[in-house]
Structures are given as C-alpha cells and as structure tokens.
Structure 1
Amino acid sequence: MGNWAAALPLLPERLLTLSLKLPGEWTESGAGRRAEKLFTVRVDVWGEGAVLLALATYADAWLTLDLRERPQPDVAAENAPRLATALKRISELTGAETDPGDPTRHARPTAEGFGDLLAEGAEYDDSWGTFEVPGRWKRLMALVPGSAEGQDYESSTEHPVRYARVRRGERVLGFLWASVGDAAAGYEPRNAAGDAAFAAGVPWLLRLRPLRARGFGAPEALEELLGDREDGPEGSAVESTAHEAASLDALEELSGRF
C-alpha cells in the first residue's frame, strides 16, 4: 500500500478516500447465502503518504450468537475461519497489523475476526429487534414521497400476517405484508438485497395508499396487489401467492436473515 500511495499525485494536507461495496457469500448448514453488501472497504490516502484501510462486515455469519442473540456456533465454525484468513492476507499484503476497532452493541472485533459471544455475552439483549428494525423502517419511509399521516396502513401488528415476495427477476428484494386481524400492512426490505430492497418497497407502499383510501382492509389490499408488477423491464413484481407468518416479528426475522 505504501508504494501505491507514493505513486498518487496528491497534494500535502489533502485526503483521497476510496470506498467499495462488496457482495459475497457465506454458508449455513452447508447451504450458500449471498448478500449484495457483505463487506465495505474504505481506503484513506493522505498527501503525506499515510494510508488507512478499513474493512466492515454486514453479516452475522462470523458470530457465535446471531443479531437476535441466538446461538449459532455451527454457522460461526463454517465461516469465521474464512474471515480470519482474509484478515491475515490483508495484513500480509499491507504489511500492517490489524486494528480490530472498538466493540459494538453486537460483538467484539478481534484481529482474527470476532470474539466468542457464547463465552462473553452480548451487550444488549435482542439488539437486532431493538435497533435494526426501527432503523430500517425509518430509512424506508424517508424514501416515500408525501406525508404518511392518515394515508398509510398501520405499520405494526400483534396478529399473524400474510405476505408475498417482491422480486426483480429471480432476486427477492423484500416482502409485501398485511395483518389478518387489524388494519396493518406494509413492506419489509430484505437485508441481504442491500439498497435495492429499500428502493423496491417505495412503489408498493405508494400503491397501498389509494387502496386504503378506497376502504380496502389490509388483507384485501394485499390480495389486490398479488401478481402485480411495476411498469418497465427493471420494475419489481409481487408473487401471485401469499404465505403465512405467525407474526410480524417472524417476518422481520425472515427479512433480516433470508
């Protein structure tokens, strides 16, 4: 990295930052899983020649407890050695030691990956449900134009829900859902699909609004949209068959891990 940085025509006291979003795969019980944003890499290069390379991961496959604090030692055993090998190789290529960074609410980074949460415990119980789900909803609604007040179905329910996958081609981007017991309906972005999952939810949330205005109950609104698709070759489509989930929590869990 030092020779590469020296070759850049940078001015003193100036900083160049390069950022990459990297897809990747991990395994669970031998089955492959893929995320479009498994890692991010940021390289900061200062004009004086100093270089900082930062690697961040967006999956819990390396942890002995998943983000809902459930034990997954077998998943960690399958994947953590791959992360350790990658970190070692990066250290060899850069000629620098790995600085694991500060602990987060989810895990304690180490030079080889992450500490064993089964032995250490996590800082917060059910941190995925406490922090990730509300954050996803806030991010999604920030993309939806217009005021939501009085136009949208309720965003949460204690009842079972019906849902349908939203796809672009063969890729699942999220889940359009409706409560079977009250006036709640919405869209859950699929974490592994990255930014595209949030963008895909916007037109379907907008299509729910006129259905609510016309007096459609939540289940009827979902039925109305089954098999529908956006205009254009790059649009998403809702599958034609609805599925059952025991609760919205169960669907949120599916969207975070599927």
Structure 2
Amino acid sequence: MITSTPVGDWTWELTADDGEIRPVRAVHIAVAIWNELAKRNLAVPESKARILARSGAKLREIRLDASGLRLGPAPLAPGSDLTEAVAQAEALDGDFVLTFRIECPGWWLEPGGDHRAEKLFSIQAEVWGGDLLVVTLETYSDAWLTMDTRDREQPGVYAANAPRLAAALEGISALLGGAPTPGDENRYAAPSATGFKDLRNEGPAYVDAWGTFEGLDRASLLNARIPRSEDEYESYTEHPVRYFTIQREGRTLGFIWASADDAAAGYVPRTAAGEDAFDVGAAWLLRLREAYSQGLSPLAALSWVAQNPPHPGNGQVVEDTPQDAPSLDALEDFSGRY
C-alpha cells in the first residue's frame, strides 16, 4: 500500500566539526543520498525538490522559497535549476534555517510485476544555525514490511524489497559516517536501523491501520484544496459502488464513484500518482457539487460528471460505462495498492 503520511523514517545528525555547514553542503549530501536510492531504483532521475530558507529568529519569515526544482540525471550541473537555487541560498547572510527536500519517485517490486509511486521516499536536509545538519529519510510504502498496512502477510513483496531498503540504509550510513536513528513506531510500522521490525508476532499498533487512517488523511488533503461546503453528497457508503477511472496522459490519477443504493458519491485518489492525484481530485469533487446542486441522484451525477468533465488538464474519464466495485473499501484498497 502507498500512504499519504510516512510509513517510517530514519534520521542522521551531522555537526560542524570541520567548519560551518553551508547550504551547498546540505544539498550535496541530499543529492548523494538520492543517488544511493537511485542505485536500487528506489529513486528515479525525475524528482522534484524545494529549497526553503527561513529567518532563524522568526521561522515564519521566508527568505528564500525555490520550489518545483527538477532533478535530472545531473542535478548539480552548472546552470541547472538546483544549482541556481543553491547559489541564491549561499548568498543569504545572517542567521537562517535552511530546508532542502526531495520527493523521490521510485519502483517497488512484486512477484507479478514492478510498480511506480511518485513519492516512494522523501529526503530532507535541514541546517540549523550553520552548525547542525539533520538528514531525514521517509518512506510512503509498506513494501518493506512482512505484513502490509492492512495486516496481510506479504512474503513475496517483502523478500523482493526489504533487502533493497536495507542496502540503501547501509549505503547512506556509510556516506554519513554513522547508523541512523530509526523513527518511533507509528500507526503503520516500527522502523529499525536496517528497515523495519517484524510485527507478525506482537502485531501492529493498530488493526488495519491503512483502512482506519488513510481515508481520513486523503480527505484532509482533498478538502484543503476546495472551499468548505455542506451541500454535497455523503462521502462514505457501505453499499456497492460504480466508478469511472480518471487518467491524464495515460496515467491513472483516481476514480470518481457513486453508491448504487444511497446518497453517497465522491473521488478516490490513486496515492501512487502523488500530488497530481489530489490536485485533479479537487476539480472532480467540485464537479460533483455542481451535480448535487442540480438535485441529481448519485448515479445520475456520476453519468453527468463523466459527460461534463472539468478542464482537460484535470484528466479524462477512460471508460464508456461505469465499472462495478463490491464496496467503497474495495475501490480504495485498489487505489492504494497500484
């Protein structure tokens, strides 16, 4: 399963034993970590990054914000977007906190094939006062766990992916000169220095954590993109649903759905598609609100929205007729797996 919040994280701390830690050093270290992931196809050379510098005295005061930086095969080449942004950060004076973050698309492996997630990992390097560098690696996949985040054992997936993560952590630790501090056990898993603890004996912290929390996390991300309203369809149903697949340029971003038996309809993002799944989802939800304002039933709204889609930049319906799912949970499960 791919999650909206991290499944686990690892942290390394470096101090300025050999001089002040400048932005350029933090960025070079983060890119070196990115390369360690790329060696194992855990990152691909299509990542995006952001450099944010805030005043050390007032963290809300933004001194530099360079986002959407594209990281290609040579991200630190002269004249690249990243190199230009680093130069701007280096030119800053005074006390500031610098954060450099890379969102890493990558591949996880399954016995039936390989799958890509647009945010498999994230890398963050944060410089405090020029004398402390905190590096954090986060993952948004459960491919490294003996049990997935819905409590299903997955021996084939674990065998294919856990060694890749362990090798990456070992390579990063060698690069940074020490083992990581694993993050605390969370709703999904318990990180360790080499990956994750095996929770098959003691069990996870929550039963079906993905089913319990991911829907709430997704709803929060979607609702943050649209105005609040009480004039809309119910967002949950226990009945079977019908749905259309939303694609853009051949890539599935999510699904619009309607209950076959009650007053529910909505949009399910495909988490592996990353932020795009949520960005386009906002437009489709607003379209459903239009259908609601016309007094259409959920199934009639589904057909109306398919025939009256939002701007083409938000994707297109790919089926001629709606597909059937036995439940909303089954559709959400599919959207989180692939």
Tell me the TM-score normalized by structure 2. Answer: 0.70
C-alpha separation in 2, matches of 1:162 and 1:245: 6
Q: Is 1:230 equivalent to 2:310 in the alignment?
A: yes
Count, aligned residues: 255
Whether the 8 Å CA contact 2:21–2:133 is kept in 1: the answer is no
Secondary structure of the residue aligned to 2:290 is helix
C-alpha separation in 2, matches of 1:131 and 1:242: 27
| Matches for 1:136-151 after TM superposition, within 5 Å | 136-145=218-227, 147-149=228-230, 151=231
Q: In structure 2, list runs of 5 or more residues that go unmatched.
A: 1-13, 24-89
Deviation at 1:214, TM superposition (A): 2.2
The residue aligned with 1:110 is: 192
Whether the 8 Å CA contact 1:227–1:239 is kept in 2: the answer is no
The amino acid across from 1:178 in the alignment is A
Q: In structure 1, list runs of 5 or more residues that go unmatched.
A: none
**Which string of whole-angstrom CA distances, capped at 9 and with x for unpartnered residues, describes residues 64-86 of structure 1?**
11111111121111100000000
Whether the 8 Å CA contact 2:254–2:335 is kept in 1: the answer is yes
49-58 vs 7-16, greater mean Cα deviation: 7-16
C-alpha separation in 2, matches of 1:193 and 1:28: 18
**Which string of whole-angstrom CA distances, capped at 9 and with x for unpartnered residues, describes residues 197-218 of structure 1?**
1111111111112222223211
Secondary structure of the residue aligned to 2:182 is coil
The amino acid across from 1:219 in the alignment is L
Deviation at 1:7, TM superposition (A): 5.5
Change (3 A) 1:205 1:71: same
Deviation at 1:5, TM superposition (A): 6.2
Change (3 A) 1:41 1:134: same
Q: Is 1:215 equivalent to 2:299 in the alignment?
A: no
The residue aligned with 1:75 is: 157
Q: Is 1:250 equivalent to 2:334 in the alignment?
A: no
C-alpha separation in 2, matches of 1:208 and 1:46: 46
C-alpha separation in 1, matches of 2:130 and 2:314: 47
121-130 vs 3-12, greater mean Cα deviation: 3-12
Q: Which one of the candidate residues 90, 98, 109 is aligned to 2:172? A: 90
Q: Which one of the candidate residues 185, 190, 204 is aligned to 2:270? A: 190
Deviation at 1:252, TM superposition (A): 1.2
Deviation at 1:6, TM superposition (A): 4.3
The residue aligned with 1:205 is: 285
Q: Which one of the candidate residues 180, 184, 188 is aligned to 2:260? A: 180
**Which string of whole-angstrom CA distances, capped at 9 and with x for unpartnered residues, describes residues 91-126 of structure 1?**
111112121121112111111100112233101111
The amino acid across from 1:170 in the alignment is G
Tell me the TM-score normalized by structure 1. Answer: 0.91
Q: Which one of the candidate residues 96, 99, 120 is aligned to 2:202? A: 120
C-alpha separation in 2, matches of 1:80 and 1:65: 12
Whether the 8 Å CA contact 2:120–2:139 is kept in 1: the answer is yes
Q: Higher relative contact order by CA 8 Å / sep ≥ 6: 1 or 2?
A: 2
C-alpha separation in 1, matches of 2:115 and 2:93: 43
**Which string of whole-angstrom CA distances, capped at 9 and with x for unpartnered residues, describes residues 40-94 of structure 1?**
1111223443322110000010011111111112111110000000000001111
135-144 vs 191-200, greater mean Cα deviation: 135-144
C-alpha separation in 1, matches of 2:20 and 2:134: 10
Secondary structure of the residue aligned to 1:117 is coil
Root-mean-square deviation (CA, aligned residues, Å) is 2.1
Percent identity of equivalent pairs: 48
Q: Is 1:17 equivalent to 2:99 in the alignment?
A: yes
Whether the 8 Å CA contact 1:174–1:190 is kept in 2: the answer is yes
Q: Which one of the candidate residues 106, 109, 118 is aligned to 1:27? A: 109
C-alpha separation in 2, matches of 1:204 and 1:132: 20
Change (3 A) 1:255 1:93: same
Q: Is 1:129 equivalent to 2:211 in the alignment?
A: yes
Change (3 A) 1:119 1:11: farther
C-alpha separation in 2, matches of 1:49 and 1:38: 30
Deviation at 1:227, TM superposition (A): 5.5
Whether the 8 Å CA contact 1:160–1:248 is kept in 2: the answer is yes
Deviation at 1:244, TM superposition (A): 0.7
